[in-house]
Structure 1
Amino acid sequence: MTDFEILPTATPPRDLLLLADEYDASVDDYIHRGVCYVARRGDETLGEYILLHTRPFTAEIVNLAVAPAHQRQGIATALIAHAARTARRAGLRRLEIGTGNSGLGQLALYERCGFRRTGIDRDYFRRYYPQPIFENGIECRHMVRLEMELP
């Protein structure tokens, strides 16, 4: 059982959004096209995600972030489970997510939560982001796409 609640919000915490996607223009592109959900304990925001209906029967988690002080406490896992339940209740059949090739921890988390790799958008970050991104000593060049079926 968790000691926090997950609620929709019309005012997503931008500092958290920028933890997961550091390019303001990218966040601006999707922030108002999806629904943001926040994990809160009292007045404290622990994490958030944005769920975007992308095409028939499909939604994508386009931003998932947990405040640094609360990472590795199961919050991201709870947010992903919430996204899957929310999408399933809306009649959707597939949930997608993407992350950079250098996001080794994110890839492991997503696969533990039931996502499977389905493709790579080559040089995505070089094409759409103004500055090179490095994580874990690796240049973040490609968007790794993952999905899960929602039974």
Structure 2
Amino acid sequence: MILKDVLTFLKLDNNDPIPYDLLLLADPSKRLVDQYLKQSDLYIARQNDETIGVVVLFPLAAEVVEIKNMAVKPNFHGKGVGHYLIENVVQVALLNKQKSICIGTANSSLGQLYLYQKLGFEITDIKKYFFTDNYAEPIYENGIQAKHLLVLVRQLNDLQKDKL
């Protein structure tokens, strides 16, 4: 497990380089990434001088924000970086008076589904054939083709703020 005190959570501004190497791990379409980055806030997790994780927050409505992209460098998988990123964006959402935060992931993203549910996200919707309809090349994870987008939502309130 990575010690949280050695990680830094930072919001990137328009002058900072975009960590496409990480973003494209979670979404292989640079065209789609560029579309949602225009309206999003981009945060990174750094250890020493190395960017090891990224998360993108996209406003959906006045009180709803979406985690549009989240990725961790492969050699840091399973070390708590994804958990750290989500904990921090939940705090950002709470500070911005958001009522809920949602995230979408593929039916084949087994590790991500485990993490999101462990952190209080509930599956609320399935967008059938999202990946086969929106990506030219098939995407495979864990030996399973990504076909459907599972939407998960975490309700935010003052009680949850105290738990984090």
Segments of 5+ residues of structure 1 without an aligned counterpart are none
Post-superposition Cα deviations, 1:47-69, rounded to whole Å, max 9, x if no partner, equal 01001111120000000000111
CA positional deviation for 1:148: 0.3
Q: Secondary structure at the match of 1:114?
A: coil
Instruction: Report the counterpart of residue 36 of structure 2 in structure 1.
Output: 30
| One-letter amino acid of the structure 2 residue matched with residue 9 of structure 1 | L
Please name the residue that 1:105 is paired with.
111
Aligned mate of 1:4, from 7, 13, 16: 7
Q: Secondary structure at the match of 2:71?
A: strand
Alignment of 1:78-117 (within 5 A): 78-117=84-123
Post-superposition shift, 1:24? Answer: 1.3
CA distance in 2, matches of 1:14, 1:60: 19
Q: Give the equivalent residue in structure 2 for 1:52.
A: 58
Give the structure-2-normalised TM-score: 0.89
- Report the TM-score, using the length of structure 1 for normalisation: 0.96
The equivalent of 1:72 in structure 2 is: 78
8 A contact 1:12–1:38 mirrored in 2: no
Task: Give the count of matched residue pairs.
Answer: 151
Superposed CA RMSD:
1.0
State the partner residue of 1:142. 148
CA distance in 2, matches of 1:19, 1:139: 16
Residues 118 and 147 in structure 1, CA contact (< 8 A), matched pair in contact too: yes
